[in-house]
Amino acid sequence: MTTLTAPATETLLFEQRGTVAIITLNRPERLNAISQEMLEALSAQLIACQRDPDVRVIVLTGAGRGFCSGLDLVDQQQRLGAASAEGERRGYSLFDLRDAPPVVLNKMDKPVICAVNGAAAGYGMDMALLADIRIASDRAKMGAVFARRGVLPESGGTWILPRLLGWARAAEVAFRGRVLDAQESLDVGLVNEVVPHDALMTRTLELAEEIAANAPLSVQATKRMMRLGMDEPFESAVDHIYLQLLPLMQSDDFKEGVRAFMEKRDPNFQGR
């Protein structure tokens, strides 16, 4: 098995089970408030998983009682103070998001499932929403608390919320600074499913393995076309889909899928 994944750190754990990668935010004593070190490690790990042919699905979760309580403001303030003069001298923004986890998540072709094990607030909520699928523990909460802190959803929330919920519901959640429990999050469409807390990882991995059993090139192309299709007219989308379809029909996995169908058996896809 090829291993291209980035090394794990104390605050970001990595595990691979077959073709499913599990990334765990690991600062449980701070409800996984995300530090600069964690931001950099998470981006690196996601990029490594995207490049690793042996990873087909990524699961993102948190250790302890929370998924992610947002940015670690103490850590960020210290780093901003130390770096502000250098940033001004070089003429770049200290809030450069080009390699930040939400941007990396949005660009990824491999499916990402977020196992929301507890509170996902602020930056943590944005990261959860930028996963493709969210399975929530019955103890989970989604906290769009930006307006209560005097900021705005800077990490993709203003882009993804209206697309997930529609304008009116997104406006209500964001403008009120609402915190939604697991059932409310399911009712409005922020999560796909709510399960008992002790069953969260079992259910998430069951779903991840079901997706990983499908042809990975097909899954990734489908995700890519869904993402691009959100911002292009139908005619352009159809043309782009056709260009994606041609190489897929030349792949070994396509031939395996046809053989498996004819032979009435489960296919064994190799990602080629």
The residue with greater pLDDT, 189 or 156, is 189
On whether both 138 and 228 belong to a single domain, the answer is: no
Question: What pLDDT band is residue 77 in, cutting at 50, 70 and 90?
Answer: low
What average pLDDT does the structure give for the chain? 89
CB 166 within 8 A of CB 183: no
What pLDDT shows up at residue 200? Answer: 98
Which CATH number is 258's domain given?
A: 1.10.12
pLDDT digit string (tens) for 193-246?
999 999 999 999 999 999 999 999 999 999 999 999 988 899 998 988 988 899
Final residue of a structural domain among 173, 195, 212: 212
- 268 domain-assigned: no
What pLDDT shows up at residue 205? Answer: 98
- Rounded mean pLDDT, 6-11: 75
**Is residue 187's pLDDT more than 90?**
yes
- Rounded mean pLDDT, 79-90: 52
On whether both 29 and 152 belong to a single domain, the answer is: yes
pLDDT digit string (tens) for 238-258?
988 988 899 999 999 999 899
- Locate 49 and state its tokens: 């998983």
- Rounded mean pLDDT, 43-52: 96
**Amino acid at the residue 215:** A
Sheet hosting strand 57-62, strand order edge to edge: 12-17, 20-25, 57-62, 112-116, 133-137, 193-195
Which CATH number is 189's domain given?
A: 3.90.226.10
- 69 domain-assigned: yes
- Rounded mean pLDDT, 123-129: 94
On whether both 23 and 71 belong to a single domain, the answer is: yes
- 5 domain-assigned: no
On whether both 65 and 111 belong to a single domain, the answer is: yes
Cα separation, 73 vs 4, whole angstroms: 32
Please tell me the total count of domains within the chain. Answer: 2
Crossing angle of the two packed helices 234-249 and 216-229, in degrees rounded to 10: 170
- 115 domain-assigned: yes
Cα separation, 109 vs 125, whole angstroms: 21
Structural domain range at position 258:
216-263
Q: How far is CA 183 from CA 38, 104, 172, 180, in A?
A: 29, 29, 17, 8
On whether both 107 and 164 belong to a single domain, the answer is: yes
On whether both 90 and 134 belong to a single domain, the answer is: yes
What pLDDT shows up at residue 84? Answer: 53
Cα separation, 100 vs 150, whole angstroms: 22
On whether both 129 and 226 belong to a single domain, the answer is: no
What pLDDT shows up at residue 86? Answer: 54
pTM value > 0.85 = yes
CB 118 within 8 A of CB 66: yes
Beta bridge partners of 270: none
What pLDDT shows up at residue 78? Answer: 59
On whether both 174 and 225 belong to a single domain, the answer is: no
What pLDDT shows up at residue 191? Answer: 97
Crossing angle of the two packed helices 157-165 and 167-176, in degrees rounded to 10: 130
- Locate 127 and state its tokens: 């990261």
- Rounded mean pLDDT, 79-101: 57
